[in-house]
A and B are shown apart, each in its own frame.
Chain A
């Protein structure tokens, strides 16, 4: 495979991620739920896909792209702009830096470290909002939201791995520069 082909493929996959994010936002914005939820809150799929991609192919989700998408999501989904995006960006970067070691570990280890990050993001968000004296979302639904996000990570990984074909580098695979990694 030539160098140019690889660069084009990376660009293509990044565009794919942008469209995936836009699709998730689109589903969120569909005017189907105009009543307040009683027990249920959907998982944050954008977060899960960003994490799943960051673990698998860090070069496909550069930090600038992630920051722009997360900020757009904050603005469109009526969250305080910047905070959720900041927490997600920092966690995604942490996963990227761990991706080398996570590559060799099994899915269970990956799930543990991603799960810990998800919990940290959800708790950190509430703590920072509390410190800044911003209205907090109701605790019950917030916990449901977090649990749903935790539960749905394997689904995001499944879709990323089998449907989109974004896989971890296996030993002897061609790396991002067309070299064996």
Chain B
């Protein structure tokens, strides 16, 4: 009996110490492997997430819905104010709508004149946000579409208006989207009227700063920012947001996508832009002869 008691009280028994040592070595090893071979470890992480998170989905939906209901309730209190605001905006929007309709008609006419066929491969898959990153230091969301639906790593993701992020980590049933606001996100973009090439470098804030801007004088707050397609990761011309200057004078991008409520996201199918690799050849007499001969 006395021995029993000493065993149960002595928590630093040799077996426990051995287990602890093994666990410490295993955990340290996992961290080192992640540091050395991050992509493989991230793939493992995606597999684990794929196993665990969809099981929680049945409970997540109602809880998220309820919380959002209460959040909305707070905004009901300002109903009258919002109504006024919305009416004002609606009047502005009607003017825009008129302009958009005219442009659309003009665009259709021009497309028809040029006999343009839009690329049928530029389609999208819509997914529902299952979970967020769960940590205040990482900005990503988990979608309920994955390798099963043909999602490929690197594809751009939008929320109907603006760019949200890129797919990074695909498992069978889920895919993780790294948001533009994440500290490790870099998106090549163009500022619209001036055509300046920039990099949008996420820094874990709601409005990511602009990096590698060649001539700040040509860019002013309010300019549109669209993806440039440089690097071949994103298709060119996706709306990202508007340029804004923070109180410190640093230029940032106010994102067009509604980051407060990310619910449905579009993953754009993108099979890469064609690269022009060789310089244009001069048509010389020899090649002319060579090409002409088989025809004769």
Contacts and interface: CB of A to CB of B under 8 A. Distances in A.
Nearest to A24: B134
A75 B45 contact: yes
Interface string B188-207: 00000000000000011110
B125 interface: no
Chain B interface bracket (under 10, 10 to 19, 20 to 34, 35 or more): 35 or more
B262 A138 contact: no
B131 A29 contact: yes
A76 B49 contact: yes
Nearest to B59: A26
Interface string B60-92: 100110011000000000000000000000000
Interface string B162-193: 00000000000000000101011000000000
A85 B139 contact: no
B1 interface: yes
Contacts of B24: 86, 89-90
A71 interface: yes
Interface string A58-76: 1100011001001110011
Given A78-B140, A81-B45, A97-B12, A179 B133 contact: no
- Mostly, the B contact residues are helix
Contact of B181 (A25, A36, A75, A176): A36
Given A34-B132, A89-B24, A175 B8 contact: yes
B266 interface: no
Interface in A38-88: 38, 40-42, 58-59, 63-64, 67, 70-72, 75-83, 85-86
Given A86-B27, A137-B137, A177-B8, A75 B49 contact: yes
22 contacts: A26-B59, A28-B134, A29-B53, A30-B67, A30-B131, A31-B131, A32-B67, A34-B129, A34-B132, A36-B181, A36-B206, A40-B136, A41-B137, A67-B23, A72-B48, A75-B45, A75-B48, A77-B135, A80-B31, A93-B20, A97-B12, A179-B8
